[in-house]
Structure 1
Amino acid sequence: MKNNVKFTSKLRYWFDQTMAAGTGALIGWLGIISLVIIMVFGAIIALTGLTQADGESLTFSEAMWASLMRTLDAGTMGGDTGWVFRFVMLLVTLAGIFVVSTLIGILSSGIENKLDELRKGRSQVLEEEHTIILNWSPSIFDVIAELVIANESRRNPRIVVMADLDKVEMEDEIAAKIDDLKNTKVICRSGDPTDLTDLAIVNPNASRSIVILSPDATDPDSSVIKTILAITQNPHRRTEKYRIAAEIRDVHNAELGAIVGGDETQLVLADDLISRIVVHSSRQPGLSAVYTELLDFDGSEIYTIPAEPLSGRYYGQGCLAFETSTLIGLVTVDGKVELNPAKDRKILAEERLVVIAEDDDAIEVKGLQGTIDTSMFNAARSNVIQPERTLLLGWNRRAPLIATELSRFVAPGSVLTIVADTPDLAGKTAGIRLASDNLTLDIRNANSSSRAEIRALDPLSYDHILVLGYNEDLDPQPADTRTLVTLLHLRQVAEEAGRRSSVVSEMIDVRNRELAEVSKADDFVVSNKLVSLMLAQAAENEFMSRIFGSLLDEEGAELYLRPASNYVQPGATVDFYQLTLAGLMRGETVIGYRQRGVTVDERRLGGVKINPFKSQKVTFSEGDQVVVLASNG
């Protein structure tokens, strides 16, 4: 049935629709009104022959011009003469005042709305070769800081951040937390990274790499996986592969993330990564400094380069072919990472070299000149693994992973004592699935930060001590406070006994690391910091996740700190070529050393030096160690 709508109603509806179209439509209507006023009064003046008292009659075009001048500027009629002419021009001026004042109001409102829109961060990003960071978490500041260092050698680098937060708030917090962005510009946008429309704002098709952080949400892994899906399965995606680094908290979600992301995504399993590094660092004091050096961009880091320069040579020859870099492994044609392969393993042209270097521009095949003096080498000694006693104080979701990882490496008869006062400790520990029978669990429900309880445990009788934060039962700051109190009690026990303690502690908030260093423990592992470093590295190196996965896998080559006396005679002065060959003769890849007596260490690495120049001479004393990649303990 057809509605009988009046023409005036239709006209009014059409007018309302045009008025609602925005600032442009309003300005258009004012322009039409102004033109009508000018033409009407121009015609009146031209047809009636109105003139000023001493003037000549005006043509239609001249009359329109006179009306236009008085419409735009009320002061123009101040010089008019003749009362009839003045009256007509007064009407023109009053109409002009209405039009101009309305125009100013519309423009002011339009500009204000545009500024509000810009503050909301909804405008399209037109950058190219930029790094995108999706979601917001405490890790974002470390990720940006590392990318800033990595970008120093690039021209006009850009980092684009998108999160479901206010754009101005994000910019202010980044400016407050990161002192110097160097040559990198950070651009913030507000939006939901799982929404295809919002995702298009940051222009992922032109990006260099994408980092997806785990958000502070009820189910963060679901959000991360959905974001990966939105990028890789977008109907408007680019044809070439993306380089995506995504943070996953629960290892059980890794399989789904790998299916969704395919070979375009490197998954950084936060809890698994931290748990493994905690275990490795606890068993070898000083190893956390090695991991930190390899993960951050300030110093030496890991790169992969084409293998053509060493094609046809053996791996052992390749290790001696670099002066300022350290060869540690290969990436095969099918993408498999082989760290510390056999020294007679032949290098193929289609493979890639895994190299430690200060910068990719510093990697140069130079090689050994002359022969190596082996007279100062010591005979290889076997490494006998003894049963270990480990004390774990505190509890969080990573504790079961730590226990499982520890059971992979310890000798039969080893014991892990867990002391915590978390609710239902017995139920939580009952779910731990150890990887071997070599480790026995000793569960004690007690206050892990009580001085009396710690003394009763006789902590110095343990080979290793781990301190975890109660981040599932407490907020980050109270949890870190308990950790700090525990560390101070451990320090006091060690000082009273006149002994050193080897402690690995976990700080939830990276800002508390400096406070934790008061305890003078050998190692500290800051969870957010290490995850951030790994994400930043994965954004720059497509093989990084596989390389570190191999480093932390008990079936592959692992990092060890071995006594320097196992390789060279104490007091001997050798260069790194000699030390590299000494390692190759034992089936190991030497990547650095640790000198105990170092007092000046600007980077706080505890005397650890990774990737020294091979011509550099070093004198080793008792207690010094060599950092090696080896396939067994």
Structure 2
Amino acid sequence: MVIMTTVEPENLEDPSRVLQDTSSLWPMRTVAALLGVKRTIVKIEGTNRHDLNGKFAHVQAYDPVKGRYSAILLDNTEDEIIYLPPTSIKQINILDATWFAISYAWQAQSLDKLYIILIVLLAISWRKQDIIIHRMSEIVTVTVLLLGVSFIGRFLLSEYNLVKEKAESMVGTRNPISTVEMIEYRVEHYFSTSQWAKVALLLTFTFILISMGAVALAFCGDDSISGAVWLAWTFVADPGTHADAPEGFLVRFVSFSITVGGMLIFALMIGIISDYIGNKIDELKKGKSRVIESDHSVMLGWTDKSIAIIQQISLANESEGGGTIVVLADAPKEDLEEHLASAMSQERGSALELMGTNVVFRSGNPLEESELQRVSVLTARSVIVLSPESLSPDEADANQVRQVMALKALDGVNGNECPPVVVEVQDVDNSELFTLVAPDFAEVIVAHDLIGRFMLECARYPGLACVLESMMGFEGSEFYFEEWPELKGKSFLDITCRFDDAVPIGIKSNSGKVFINPKNDHIIQEGDKILVLAEDNDTYEVNDGSYETNKKIESPPAAEDAKQVEKIMFLGWRRDMADLITQLDGYVAKGSELWLFNTVPVEERNELLKDQGHKSELKLDNLLVYNVVGNPLIRRDLSRIVSVDHDGETVSLDEVDSILILADSVSIENGATVMSCDSRSLSTLLIIQDIQKRLYDEKKEALGSSTSIKPVSPITEILDSRTRSLLDVVSCGSAYVMSNQIISSVIAQVSEDRDINAVLRELLTAEGSETYIRSVSKFVDLKKEDKMSFWDIALKARQHREVAIGYKPAGLGFREASLLIINPPDKSLDRQWAPGDEIITFALD
């Protein structure tokens, strides 16, 4: 260890006395105590040996015989003693002391001895005749500078040793690297692994510039360390400040250099801030931030049904002033927002209307629990899980099982229960998987199965599509459960006329079981809820019961409606065709015929119906299946329909009772879009209508108008809601089924109340109550009476154990009578009933 001091020539005779004298001053006494050094440092100049001039040495002793001082060079590792005349020893000034401190620290390769720099700074302050203990600002300034230099120096020294070590380890290899390349690699490492690397670099450059500038200003001017630091900061922060620098070339040069460095630092700072703000905006655009919401609806995934679901939930939220829908999908947030904006910018009537509902998009993988927590799924009102369309049915359903398990894993986290979950499934055979992994946790909606049942009912009863579609969405009247204590002890017949703005259709018992169209004597118990069809959950209430329900109401005797043998034709192929045929077999009379017209070869059909061996042969009790191979887009194939079995039996389009045009799954599997599938369906519809018209005209001409019967209108499955406006062009009327729209409406309704799933399941199956369109003559003898209220019709319907939910006047189509077919107004007022009026009911058969 060494100590730097100023050596006066008259004191060189006794170096020990030099230490003693200098140690009498309190700063040197402190330093001596810290270092334990008893040597004096001097600078050599003016000797004949030029290799010694400018070097530092510490004096050992004075030889009076030789008249010289014995000394050892500081950079001499062998401790070789040299002898110096008194004239070659120079007094150390501040610059010498600073240079020595830096040289010593570098040679030692250790920054633990930075108190050497402290001594230099103390010496500078001593030179300015400021006692540090009386200048707290000096202490604070020096402390901050020391901490900064220590931290930066340690980091740079560790990085230097690491770079040097790695560079040396690569020497002699086939791919040696230079030190510069290694430094670039380390810089890249920090910039790619730390988001604060740019900020740290900026602060480091700023600190170094201010520190070096302050030291230079202190040397060149009359400022103390704290004053020089503040002056250097003003030069960095305000480029115009250097114009007021003191006179003197050296001071102004230093001021100018600091100012130029400050301009570069502020340019770097602006670039870093700009990058940071840009990155934050990009993160927001990508949907990576957390959603802070509660009582909102969460939709996991994005499909063709998403827009329709958003529309239905917006309708449900309208009465509450709007709500929030959060969509989490594995797609870019910008693309999702573009889809939403496109749907909202369509023509009036088909445009998406949010009605105060806010839609928030987030991009991420819904299968990850962290992503689910990011959209606040535990504080949501409901969760909708959409089936991915890009996967095969089995793979998609497996994906849905994992999704439900991920949601189940969050159930109970932080004391929060997972909200009701609605899962869309593609294959009915996979629905049992969700009961195995999470019983009573999620409501399963099998899209294909539901649409299949829906289309079967619509095909057999023209006009039923409008009725069912009205019940499925939130645009008209929908299903609601509510407990009414004032109706406790009443029978279901007694409450038939107790709601002015709703139609009671069933009861949910306090045990959770739902009864649709119960018996008249079914008594409402405490805790039971009444199932009604109403416009909204706050638009109806119980009336005073003044309408007389026990008055004598006669109804024509019930006639046995024997099932008639039917001929039904399916054009196109569905993946769940086997389930569709099985459902149809439960509806029709024995001996009915089903004609399958599509492009799939018969041998392949049999394999598809057995699901490649996973299902058994179809066992049909009532249906006879006729297979026809043809293309529904080719007029020739539709003009002459010949079965490939049953001895080549034929049928014409005017002879069938129901025609169902299916969205062909074969085309979809081959890459067809929903719009192209709709185009195929519309083309098929036009060809069929033209052929039917020609056949009708021919029979009318041959047999006369009295015996000719107009052929049935085909029921067309439509996938894209934008196709609806084209249906009026082809005079389709009400003979179409918006399959995606219906599924979306069902999903939205079940998400609001999971018990609705049980209601729809019963209404769309052959078991239990179904929807029927009855002639008014079934309930009213128009020859005896033709003026009564809708409630009178409803009471007459109860005598047949049917629930009347609405009616259609004879002169109106179903779409024109949309306000009457479900939950009509003015139920207590009498109206004139006429032949052709129809009553819509729920009945067992």
TM-score, with length taken from structure 2: 0.69
Q: In 2 relative to 1, CA 624–495 (structure 1 residues): closer, same or farther, beyond 3 Å?
A: farther
Q: In 2 relative to 1, CA 174–394 (structure 1 residues): closer, same or farther, beyond 3 Å?
A: same
Structure-2 separation of matches of 1:600 and 1:365: 29
1:622 is aligned to 2:800: no
Query: Residue 427 of structure 1: which of 596, 606, 625 is its match?
Result: 606
Match of 2:805 in 1: 591
Structure 1 residue 404: deviation in Å? Answer: 1.0
Match of 1:551 in 2: 763
Structure 1 residue 522: deviation in Å? Answer: 4.2
Structure-1 separation of matches of 2:811 and 2:617: 41
Match of 2:667 in 1: 473
Structure-1 separation of matches of 2:567 and 2:426: 28
1:507 is aligned to 2:701: no
Bigger relative contact order, structure 1 or 2 (CA pairs below 8 A, ≥6 apart) = 1
Structure-1 separation of matches of 2:232 and 2:322: 53
Structure-2 separation of matches of 1:397 and 1:521: 28
Structure 1 residue 539: deviation in Å? Answer: 0.9
Match of 1:276 in 2: 453
CA deviation profile, 1:117-159 (whole Å, cap 9, x unmatched): 2222111111111111111110111011111111112255111
Q: In 2 relative to 1, CA 441–600 (structure 1 residues): closer, same or farther, beyond 3 Å?
A: closer
Structure-1 separation of matches of 2:582 and 2:269: 72
Q: In 2 relative to 1, CA 509–614 (structure 1 residues): closer, same or farther, beyond 3 Å?
A: same
Structure 1 residue 599: deviation in Å? Answer: 6.0
4+ residue runs of structure 1 moved beyond 6 angstroms? Answer: 5-9
Structure-1 separation of matches of 2:593 and 2:207: 92
Are the equivalent residues in 1 in contact too, given 2:520–2:801 (CA < 8 A)?
yes
Match of 1:452 in 2: 636
Match of 2:131 in 1: none
Greater shift, 394-403 or 459-468, is seen at 394-403
CA deviation profile, 1:272-331 (whole Å, cap 9, x unmatched): 101111111111111111111111110100011124332111111122211111111112
Are the equivalent residues in 2 in contact too, given 1:596–1:606 (CA < 8 A)?
no
Equivalent position SS for 2:482: strand
Equivalent position SS for 1:363: coil
Match of 2:81 in 1: none
Q: In 2 relative to 1, CA 616–293 (structure 1 residues): closer, same or farther, beyond 3 Å?
A: farther
Q: In 2 relative to 1, CA 90–360 (structure 1 residues): closer, same or farther, beyond 3 Å?
A: same
Q: Write the mapping of 1:73-88 to structure 2, written as runs, cut at 5 A.
A: 73-82=238-247, 83-88=249-254
Match of 2:3 in 1: none
Match of 1:112 in 2: 278
Structure-2 separation of matches of 1:590 and 1:335: 24
Q: In 2 relative to 1, CA 618–442 (structure 1 residues): closer, same or farther, beyond 3 Å?
A: farther
Greater shift, 167-176 or 348-357, is seen at 348-357
Structure 1 residue 198: deviation in Å? Answer: 2.1
1:66 is aligned to 2:250: no
Q: In 2 relative to 1, CA 440–366 (structure 1 residues): closer, same or farther, beyond 3 Å?
A: same
Match of 1:54 in 2: none
Greater shift, 464-473 or 451-460, is seen at 451-460
Match of 2:401 in 1: 225
Structure-2 separation of matches of 1:202 and 1:107: 28
Q: Write the mapping of 1:239-254 to structure 2, written as runs, cut at 5 A.
A: 239-254=416-431
Query: Residue 196 of structure 1: which of 369, 394, 414 is its match?
Result: 369
Query: Residue 405 of structure 1: which of 572, 583, 596 is its match?
Result: 583
Are the equivalent residues in 2 in contact too, given 1:597–1:607 (CA < 8 A)?
no
Matched letter for residue 405 of structure 1: Q
Match of 2:7 in 1: none
Matched letter for residue 230 of structure 1: A
1:383 is aligned to 2:577: no
Structure 1 residue 378: deviation in Å? Answer: 3.4
Structure 1 residue 352: deviation in Å? Answer: 1.8
Structure-1 separation of matches of 2:679 and 2:367: 36
Matched letter for residue 227 of structure 1: Q
Greater shift, 303-312 or 313-322, is seen at 303-312
Structure-1 separation of matches of 2:724 and 2:436: 36
Structure 1 residue 224: deviation in Å? Answer: 1.5
Are the equivalent residues in 1 in contact too, given 2:808–2:814 (CA < 8 A)?
no
Equivalent position SS for 1:407: helix
Q: In 2 relative to 1, CA 599–332 (structure 1 residues): closer, same or farther, beyond 3 Å?
A: closer
Structure-1 separation of matches of 2:223 and 2:157: 41
Are the equivalent residues in 1 in contact too, given 2:568–2:658 (CA < 8 A)?
yes
Structure-2 separation of matches of 1:537 and 1:94: 68
Equivalent position SS for 2:521: coil
CA deviation profile, 1:199-254 (whole Å, cap 9, x unmatched): 22211111110111111222211112211111012376454342111110100110
Greater gyration radius: 2
Query: Residue 484 of structure 1: which of 682, 690, 703 is its match?
Result: 682
Query: Residue 395 of structure 1: which of 542, 549, 573 is its match?
Result: 573
Structure-2 separation of matches of 1:445 and 1:20: 62
Match of 1:577 in 2: 791
Match of 1:324 in 2: 501
Matched letter for residue 369 of structure 2: L
Q: In 2 relative to 1, CA 567–551 (structure 1 residues): closer, same or farther, beyond 3 Å?
A: same
Equivalent position SS for 1:233: helix
Structure 1 residue 10: deviation in Å? Answer: 3.1
Greater shift, 567-576 or 428-437, is seen at 428-437
Match of 1:30 in 2: 202
Structure-1 separation of matches of 2:449 and 2:254: 85
Equivalent position SS for 1:362: coil
Q: In 2 relative to 1, CA 600–283 (structure 1 residues): closer, same or farther, beyond 3 Å?
A: closer
Are the equivalent residues in 2 in contact too, given 1:396–1:468 (CA < 8 A)?
yes
Greater shift, 202-211 or 327-336, is seen at 327-336
Q: In 2 relative to 1, CA 299–204 (structure 1 residues): closer, same or farther, beyond 3 Å?
A: same
Match of 2:389 in 1: 216
Percentage identity across paired residues of the two chains: 28
Query: Residue 741 of structure 2: which of 518, 529, 535 is its match?
Result: 529
Match of 1:344 in 2: 521
Structure-1 separation of matches of 2:205 and 2:609: 81
Structure-2 separation of matches of 1:157 and 1:426: 47
Equivalent position SS for 1:378: coil
Q: In 2 relative to 1, CA 257–235 (structure 1 residues): closer, same or farther, beyond 3 Å?
A: closer
Greater shift, 422-431 or 485-494, is seen at 422-431
Matched letter for residue 409 of structure 2: Q
1:295 is aligned to 2:472: yes
Q: In 2 relative to 1, CA 18–463 (structure 1 residues): closer, same or farther, beyond 3 Å?
A: closer
Structure-1 separation of matches of 2:719 and 2:192: 52
Match of 2:318 in 1: 152
Structure 1 residue 39: deviation in Å? Answer: 4.2
Are the equivalent residues in 2 in contact too, given 1:137–1:215 (CA < 8 A)?
yes
Structure-1 separation of matches of 2:720 and 2:510: 41
Are the equivalent residues in 1 in contact too, given 2:497–2:547 (CA < 8 A)?
no
Equivalent position SS for 2:196: helix
CA deviation profile, 1:423-458 (whole Å, cap 9, x unmatched): 455425763855641111111212333323333332
Match of 2:180 in 1: none
Are the equivalent residues in 2 in contact too, given 1:258–1:267 (CA < 8 A)?
no
TM-score, with length taken from structure 1: 0.91
Structure-2 separation of matches of 1:113 and 1:461: 67
Matched letter for residue 661 of structure 2: V
1:10 is aligned to 2:183: no
Structure 1 residue 489: deviation in Å? Answer: 2.0
Match of 1:439 in 2: 623
- Aligned Cα root-mean-square deviation (Å): 2.7
Equivalent position SS for 1:412: coil
Structure 1 residue 191: deviation in Å? Answer: 1.0
Q: In 2 relative to 1, CA 215–611 (structure 1 residues): closer, same or farther, beyond 3 Å?
A: farther
Are the equivalent residues in 2 in contact too, given 1:488–1:519 (CA < 8 A)?
no
Structure-2 separation of matches of 1:472 and 1:25: 56
Equivalent position SS for 1:342: coil
Structure 1 residue 35: deviation in Å? Answer: 3.6
Q: In 2 relative to 1, CA 581–468 (structure 1 residues): closer, same or farther, beyond 3 Å?
A: same
Structure 1 residue 334: deviation in Å? Answer: 3.0
Are the equivalent residues in 2 in contact too, given 1:325–1:613 (CA < 8 A)?
no
Match of 1:53 in 2: none
